[in-house]
């Protein structure tokens, strides 16, 4: 009783302090002057912030942990072996694009829950000379797909968009990685694929996390043929055993020797289509032959003097992050990380940006995305003015399903100043579970990223609309947001991005804000507690012990529904520092930051 009285007093005090200290004006919000430019991130400021840094009591990570440091180059991914592959290529004279492609193929071997050749992804490239471009190799809906293919005769949504043969879009990863290499790499496919082929052919040592991950995916993997590889004798591959994948090694060698044609038209296409036909899938040789990656102009925005280069549609990542950052800019300088005020402003900005995302965005080949409007500072200002500083808003019902959490992001910088941020996925862990016999790889369940039944939540609770309804040849809307940040002088500062469905957008943005707005070291920025709001469900999610009880109570008093969720997103980041680079892989997961 006494404790709860104490907590609610603390909550009230915390709310009042926030309102008085950060935002003296009562709602409706005043017209905000242009946001002052941020003070440059300098070593003194970072050292001061690091000395004062504190996470809430009980939070799982300490402050002040050292990152991986390097002088020349860095690769950060969810697999140490895949990062090693990238560094091997860089040391052999390759550039960041060569290394990114090497890392991507290696992830397909060493991190098969999300690394893939049976899925798709997005790559954000910035060359040292300032050229900046993004590559969309998102999966596409097969020609025989249809708007209501996942709805049964009684109008109920089935699980066929998530499990089994009908769940897959036409894979884009092989075409995409080849395209990036051809345009901006300096090596051959055979050179950059050599480490992945070695890992598949000679095997790699299974560690306890990998073994537990396979056991945890028993229900996804064992109905299909991958069980022979990952559950030999019916048991998950054992810690300390060598995992050799001969079918995958053969597939990778065919791609290395013959290019993407091997995958889209040759022997691998034959195996893929034969697998589809055995299980009632609809991907045909024509679908494979027609698949093309698309070069797109990045979403370029500014936040208080910094430049963000982010992913355009068919991902919602760049637009949604830009919209939310633009809203927040109206409240600059932001309240401190960990305060009620900061949590409230994040929640209200996310709410508004996700309402637009979920109702208005889709594949640009099918939908006119209101890109200019949604990323404009003026529009953000009108949204910011709607934010009541004392009370949570409610998300109205809107004309509008969630994305897979088993995506993976990797970041690369090279010695020449080139940078690559890549996010790739099968959607759910091990995708649809379908494993291509003879091919040796898993197929995605990316069709669930469409609004399989507009207005009905998908596997992660996102409610989306007609703009993202299924059409043959259409790309399903993604949240992936590989992002490159430039400092106010236009110099490369950060390479980052995340896995985690819609939490990709919020976690990527929070790590960036932790660095540029809150002056955290990259290690602290990655370890700081995260928040998430996606409009619907109308709840502010936080990580257990990631906010103090007083902050939680204050947010509730302001009208927020507050729920906790373990491990929001999976981010892998690189930051330029004086004398080189800091690299940090997701502390909530596994990975490797490797530099030289
Ligand atoms: N499948 C996760 C995403 O594309 O956002």
- Whole-number Å distance, alpha carbon 439 to ligand 1 midpoint, is 24
- For 577, the 3-state DSSP assignment is strand
Q: Which of 404, 424, 450 to mutate to test the pocket of ligand 1 (most atoms within 8 A of CB)?
A: 404
> How far lies 553's CA from each of 57, 89, 159, 287, 539, in Å?
16, 51, 37, 53, 14
- Whole-number Å distance, alpha carbon 425 to ligand 1 midpoint, is 7
Whether the CB of 139 sits within 6 Å of ligand 1: no
- Whole-number Å distance, alpha carbon 555 to ligand 1 midpoint, is 29
Q: What backbone torsions phi and psi does residue 498 show, to the nearest 5 degrees?
A: -150, 165
| CB-side neighbour CA atoms (13 Å) of 521 | 25
Q: Which ligand 1 atom is at minimum distance from the Cα of 448?
A: 1
Q: What backbone torsions phi and psi does residue 17 show, to the nearest 5 degrees?
A: -60, -45
Distance CA 193, CA 184 (A): 16
| CB-side neighbour CA atoms (13 Å) of 79 | 28
Is the distance from CB of 511 to CB of 572 less than 8 angstroms? no
Distance CA 419, CA 543 (A): 31
Q: What backbone torsions phi and psi does residue 580 show, to the nearest 5 degrees?
A: 155, -135
Q: Provide CB contacts within 8 A for 334, sequence distance 6+.
A: 328, 341, 342, 345, 513, 517, 518
- Whole-number Å distance, alpha carbon 23 to ligand 1 midpoint, is 36
Which residue numbers are catalytic?
A: 407
- For 469, the 3-state DSSP assignment is coil
Is the distance from CB of 555 to CB of 340 less than 8 angstroms? yes
- Per-residue pLDDT tens listing for the chain (596 residues): 333 333 333 333 333 333 333 333 333 344 455 677 777 677 788 877 777 778 999 999 999 999 999 999 999 999 999 999 999 999 999 999 999 999 999 999 999 999 999 999 999 999 999 999 999 999 999 999 999 999 888 888 899 999 999 999 999 999 999 999 999 999 999 999 999 999 999 999 999 999 999 999 999 999 999 999 999 999 999 999 999 999 999 999 999 999 999 999 999 999 999 999 999 999 999 999 999 999 999 999 999 999 999 999 999 999 999 999 999 999 999 999 999 999 999 999 999 999 999 889 999 999 999 999 999 999 999 999 999 999 999 998 764 444 445 799 999 999 999 999 999 999 999 999 999 999 999 999 999 999 877 667 766 566 667 888 999 999 999 999 999 999 999 999 999 999 999 999 999 999 999 999 999 999 999 999 999 999 989 999 999 999 999 999 999 999 999 999 998 999 999 999 999 999 999 999 999 999 99
- Among 224, 535, 554, CA closest to 402: 535
Q: Provide CB contacts within 8 A for 129, sequence distance 6+.
A: none
Q: Which ligand 1 atom is at minimum distance from the Cα of 480?
A: 5
Q: Which ligand 1 atom is at minimum distance from the Cα of 504?
A: 5
- For 311, the 3-state DSSP assignment is coil
Whether the CB of 94 sits within 6 Å of ligand 1: no
Q: Tokens standing for 126? A: 């910035």
Instruction: Quote the distance between the C-alpha of residue 56 and its chain's center.
Output: 26
Whether the CB of 425 sits within 6 Å of ligand 1: yes
> How far lies 205's CA from each of 105, 408, 424, 444, in Å?
18, 21, 23, 25
pLDDT score, position 283:
98
Task: Identify the residue whose C-alpha is closest to ligand 1 atom 1.
Answer: 427
CA triple 323-550-321, angle to 5 deg: 10
Q: Tokens standing for 207? A: 């560690």
pLDDT score, position 40:
66
pLDDT score, position 37:
77
- For 208, the 3-state DSSP assignment is helix
> How far lies 441's CA from each of 112, 299, 524, in Å?
8, 33, 36
Distance CA 207, CA 590 (A): 11
List the chain domain ranges. 71-296+403-446
Task: Identify the residue whose C-alpha is closest to ligand 1 atom 3.
Answer: 478
**Which residue, chain included where needed, has tokens 């099968």?**
426
Whether the CB of 501 sits within 6 Å of ligand 1: yes
Torsion sign over Cα 353, 355, 358, 360: negative
Q: Which ligand 1 atom is at minimum distance from the Cα of 449?
A: 1
pLDDT score, position 51:
74
Q: What number of other Cβ atoms are within 10 A of residue 235's Cβ? A: 12
Element (H, E) at 562: strand 562-564
Residue-by-residue DSSP string for 480-521: ---EEEE-TTS-EEEEE-EESTTHHHHHHHHHHHHHHTT---
Whether the CB of 449 sits within 6 Å of ligand 1: yes
Distance CA 198, CA 205 (A): 13
> How far lies 208's CA from each of 60, 213, 406, 429, in Å?
21, 8, 18, 17
Whether the CB of 14 sits within 6 Å of ligand 1: no
Whether the CB of 467 sits within 6 Å of ligand 1: no
Whether the CB of 407 sits within 6 Å of ligand 1: yes
Q: What is the DSSP letter of 243?
A: E
- Whole-number Å distance, alpha carbon 303 to ligand 1 midpoint, is 25
Q: Which ligand 1 atom is at minimum distance from the Cα of 425?
A: 1
Exposed / middle / buried, residue 389 (Cβ in 10 Å: 0-12, 13-18, 19+): buried
Q: What is the DSSP letter of 300?
A: E
- Strand pairing report for 435-436 and 441-442: antiparallel
Distance CA 319, CA 134 (A): 14
- Among 96, 93, 176, 108, CA closest to 136: 176
Whether the CB of 423 sits within 6 Å of ligand 1: no
Is the distance from CB of 545 to CB of 533 less than 8 angstroms? no
- Whole-number Å distance, alpha carbon 499 to ligand 1 midpoint, is 8
Is the distance from CB of 539 to CB of 44 less than 8 angstroms? no
In DSSP terms, 243 is beta-bridged to 204
Q: Provide CB contacts within 8 A for 200, sequence distance 6+.
A: 109, 244, 245, 246, 248, 249, 252, 440
pLDDT score, position 341:
97
In DSSP terms, 541 is beta-bridged to 532, 563
């Amino acid at each position: 009783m006494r404790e709860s009285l104490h907590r609610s007093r603390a909550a009230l005090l915390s709310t009042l302090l926030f309102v008085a200290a950060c935002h003296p004006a009562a709602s409706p919000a005043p017209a905000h002057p242009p946001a002052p430019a941020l003070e440059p991130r300098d070593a003194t400021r970072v050292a001061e912030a690091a000395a004062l840094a504190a996470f809430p009591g009980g939070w799982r990570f300490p402050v002040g942990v050292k990152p991986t440091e390097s002088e020349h180059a860095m690769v950060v991914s969810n697999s140490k072996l895949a990062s090693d592959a990238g560094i091997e290529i860089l040391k052999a004279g390759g550039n960041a694009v060569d290394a990114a492609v090497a890392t991507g193929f290696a992830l397909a071997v060493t991190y098969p829950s999300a690394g893939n050749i049976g899925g798709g992804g997005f790559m954000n490239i910035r060359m040292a000379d300032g050229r900046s471009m993004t590559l969309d190799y998102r999966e596409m809906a097969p020609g025989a797909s249809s708007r209501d293919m996942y709805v049964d005769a009684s109008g109920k949504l089935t699980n066929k968009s998530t499990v089994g043969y009908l769940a897959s879009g036409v894979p884009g990863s092989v075409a995409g990685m080849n395209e990036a290499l051809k345009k901006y790499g300096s090596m051959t496919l055979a050179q950059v694929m050599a480490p992945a082929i070695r890992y598949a052919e000679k095997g790699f040592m299974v560690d306890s996390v990998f073994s537990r991950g396979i056991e945890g995916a028993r229900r996804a993997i064992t109905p299909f043929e991958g069980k022979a590889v990952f559950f030999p004798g019916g048991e998950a591959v054992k810690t300390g055993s060598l995992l050799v994948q001969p079918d995958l090694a053969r597939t990778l060698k065919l791609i290395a020797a013959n290019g993407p044609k091997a995958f889209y038209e040759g022997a691998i296409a034959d195996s893929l289509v034969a697998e589809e036909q055995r299980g009632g899938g609809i991907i045909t040789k024509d679908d494979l032959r027609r698949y093309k990656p698309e070069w797109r102009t990045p979403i370029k925005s500014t936040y208080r003097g910094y430049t963000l280069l982010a992913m355009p549609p068919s991902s919602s990542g760049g637009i949604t992050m830009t919209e939310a950052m633009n809203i927040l800019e109206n409240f600059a300088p932001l309240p401190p990380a960990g305060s009620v005020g900061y949590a409230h402003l994040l929640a209200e900005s996310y709410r508004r940006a996700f309402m637009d995302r979920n109702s208005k965005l889709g594949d640009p080949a099918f939908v006119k995305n209101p890109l200019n409007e949604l990323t404009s500072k003026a529009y953000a200002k009108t949204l910011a003015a709607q934010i009541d500083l004392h009370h949570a808003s409610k998300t109205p019902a809107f004309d509008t399903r969630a994305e897979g959490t088993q995506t993976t992001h990797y970041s690369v910088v090279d010695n020449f100043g080139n940078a690559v941020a890549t996010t790739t996925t099968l959607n759910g862990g091990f995708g649809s579970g379908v494993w291509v016999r003879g091919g040796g790889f898993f197929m995605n369940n990316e069709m669930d990223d469409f609004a399989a039944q507009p207005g009905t939540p998908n596997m992660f609770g996102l409610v989306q609309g007609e703009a993202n309804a299924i059409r043959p040849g259409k790309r399903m809307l993604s949240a992936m947001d590989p992002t490159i940040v430039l400092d106010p002088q236009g110099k490369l500062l950060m390479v980052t991005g995340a896995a985690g469905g819609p939490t990709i957008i919020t976690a990527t943005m929070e790590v960036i804000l932790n660095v540029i707005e809150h002056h955290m070291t990259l290690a602290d920025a990655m370890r700081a507690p995260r928040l998430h709001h996606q409009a619907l469900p109308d709840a502010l999610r936080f990580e257990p012990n990631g906010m103090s009880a007083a902050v939680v109570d204050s947010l509730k008093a302001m009208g927020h529904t507050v729920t906790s969720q373990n491990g929001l997103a999976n981010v892998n980041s690189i930051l330029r520092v004086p004398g080189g680079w800091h690299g940090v892989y997701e502390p909530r997961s596994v990975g490797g930051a490797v530099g030289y």
